Amino acid sequence: MKVQKDKRNVKIVCQDGCLLKGTIHINHGERISDFINNPDRNFIAVTEAEVSSAQESLKDTTVILNKYDIKYIMEI
């Protein structure tokens, strides 16, 4: 059985200054803050991601991100 998820477009700034823009998939009715603060989840998937850093730039990729590397996240 497939669980229906809501797509949220987000911008994430990481502790190292890396910038990600992409989509996270959260449970229906869940807030982004609840999703990030869930103690059972250490990593999050960001799909359709654009990654920009001083070293490289990637487009349309999937990133598995340790949530402790997130400086801030905002919905766009």
Please name each of the domains of the chain with its CATH number: 5-75 (2.30.30.100)
Partner residues linked to 7 by β-bridges: 25
Model pTM score: 0.86
pLDDT digits over 51-69, tens only? 998 788 889 889 999 999 9
Beta bridge partners of 45: 64
Residues 1-45 have pLDDT tens digits of: 777 899 999 999 999 999 999 999 999 989 999 999 999 989 999
